[in-house]
Amino acid sequence: MKNITLLSAALSLLLLYSCGEEKKEAPAAPEPKTETFGLQKQKMSSEIRLPAELQGFRQVDLYAKVSSFVKELKVDIGSQVKAGQLLIVLEAPEISSQLAAAESRLHAAEALYTATNATYNRILETSKVEGTISKNDLDIALSRKSSDYAQLQATKASYREVQVMQSYLKIHAPFDGVISARNVNVGAYVGPAGAGSSAPLFTIQDQKKLRLAVSVPEMYTGYLGDGGEISFKVAPLPNDKFTAKIARRSGALDTRLRSERVEMDVINTNKKLLPGMVAEVILPLNAKDSTFVVPKSAVVNSAERIYVITVEDNKFKRTGIVKGREYGDNIEIYSDSLKVNQLLVKAASEEMRNGDPANN
């Protein structure tokens, strides 16, 4: 009986000990600290890559001024030409006939004026003897002379006009370049209107110097400067990197693309680059003034607004910002409420609300 009593006592003690162990709570895990950083200003340097197109610095399509037929072709695709070089000879028999007729009219007008001028001079000399020639006869002779002179000048102008039309039958190169397109053959009909004018006779390009044109989006135009140097690459030459300087800016935005056209001059004496190539322009964006630059993780893009979270008196505070450029893991921000060395949360989130403890 005594043994049973001792056993019951032992079991009771064991049960009480087990209950005490169950009621003992595990120690609470420490809350994670919020990582912060001091806000600083810096000049952010970044770059953007934009598609661009290479064009001949000078390029022109040549058309026929008068209706005619191709008589001779002096050049072909790929021909190197000099300024003033004869490219094509056209033939228009009616113009030759018009020139011959104009020349005949000119000779007739010259002969008539020569006769009336001589008559006027004789009458003028005779009139010096008083009573020999009436003043009316002298005035009539002078009138005929003036009329014939005017007719002579009109005939000369007509003759020169036909001469100019005939000169259009020979087309010369307007500048040094390369024939990049030819659209006619000997015997083809060409002209200023109709089927013969649907395509140019030739296209000439100046390929020793190229024009690189790129459209810069509106938000990046403030970083452009006249004479600034850019680099670019082309797909056919992946191992080569070319440079050029900004030569011209349109000074206005394209209303459709919301961008500004910028042109660079590219020296191409080795002719490695070809007009029409698509290039990738690497445009540097160097800030003129220092701005606030923070990690992208510090910026929260919510449905209501864009903001960062500052720490004041060990509490969170949402501060609205305007985003600027992005480069790598950093981003520019703008706000009148932020100051240098102000504490910001490095990894901000929408769960961090105004007044919540920062746990620093």
In a domain, 129, yes or no: yes
- The secondary element (H helix, E strand) that includes residue 255 is none
pLDDT tens figures, 304-360: 889 999 988 888 999 999 988 787 788 888 888 888 888 899 888 888 888 888 875
Q: What percent of the chain has pLDDT over 90?
A: 38
CATH classification at residue 144: 1.10.287
Whether 232 and 253 map to the same domain: the answer is yes
Provide the pLDDT confidence category of residue 257 given band limits of 50, 70 and 90.
Answer: confident
In a domain, 162, yes or no: yes
Q: What pLDDT does 135 receive? A: 86
Q: What pLDDT does 24 receive? A: 47
* Structural domains of the chain, count: 4
Whether 133 and 255 map to the same domain: the answer is no
Query: How far is CA 253 from each of CA 148, 217, 218, 265, 274, rounded to the nearest angstrom?
Result: 60, 9, 7, 21, 28
Phi and psi angles of residue 22, each rounded to the nearest 5 degrees, phi first:
-70, -35
Q: Which residue among 118, 142, 167 closes a domain? A: 167
In a domain, 121, yes or no: yes
Distance from C-alpha of 236 to C-alpha of 221, rounded to nearest angstrom: 29
Distance from C-alpha of 308 to C-alpha of 13, rounded to nearest angstrom: 59
Segment 91-104 mean pLDDT: 90
Phi and psi angles of residue 49, each rounded to the nearest 5 degrees, phi first:
-115, 125
In a domain, 301, yes or no: yes
Phi and psi angles of residue 244, each rounded to the nearest 5 degrees, phi first:
-155, 160
Q: Supply the pTM of this predicted model.
A: 0.62
Provide the pLDDT confidence category of residue 280 given band limits of 50, 70 and 90.
Answer: very high
Whether 182 and 310 map to the same domain: the answer is no
Whether 187 and 214 map to the same domain: the answer is no
Q: What pLDDT does 332 receive? A: 86
Q: Which residue among 286, 314, 334 closes a domain? A: 286
**Nearest Cα to Cα of residue 322 among 217, 219, 216, 215:** 219
Q: Lowest mean pLDDT: which of 167-171, 215-219, 224-228, 278-282?
A: 224-228
Distance from C-alpha of 174 to C-alpha of 179, rounded to nearest angstrom: 12
Per the prediction, the chain carries an average pLDDT of 85
Q: Which residue among 244, 269, 286 closes a domain? A: 286
In a domain, 239, yes or no: yes
In a domain, 5, yes or no: no
Segment 200-205 mean pLDDT: 93
Residue 350 region by backbone torsions, left for phi larger than 0, else alpha for psi between -120 and 50, else beta: alpha
Q: What pLDDT does 134 receive? A: 83
- Is the distance from CB of 212 to CB of 246 less than 8 angstroms? no
Whether 146 and 257 map to the same domain: the answer is no
Segment 174-201 mean pLDDT: 88
Provide the pLDDT confidence category of residue 2 given band limits of 50, 70 and 90.
Answer: very low
Whether 246 and 118 map to the same domain: the answer is no
Domain holding 154, by residue range, is: 93-167
Distance from C-alpha of 6 to C-alpha of 352, rounded to nearest angstrom: 61
Provide the pLDDT confidence category of residue 32 given band limits of 50, 70 and 90.
Answer: low
Provide the pLDDT confidence category of residue 13 given band limits of 50, 70 and 90.
Answer: very low
Alpha-helical (H) ranges within 128-201 are 135-167
In a domain, 65, yes or no: yes
Q: What pLDDT does 290 receive? A: 80
CATH classification at residue 299: 2.40.420.20
Q: How many CA atoms lie within 13 A of 7 on its CB side?
A: 4
Segment 240-245 mean pLDDT: 89
Distance of alpha carbon 166 from its chain centroid, rounded? 39
Q: Who has greater pLDDT, 13 or 117? A: 117
CATH classification at residue 188: 2.40.50.100
Q: Which two tokens stand for residue 273?
A: 């680059």
Whether 212 and 329 map to the same domain: the answer is no
Q: Any residues with CB less than 8 A from the CB of 246 and at least 6 apart, and which?
A: 224, 225, 226, 227, 228, 229, 230, 262, 263, 264
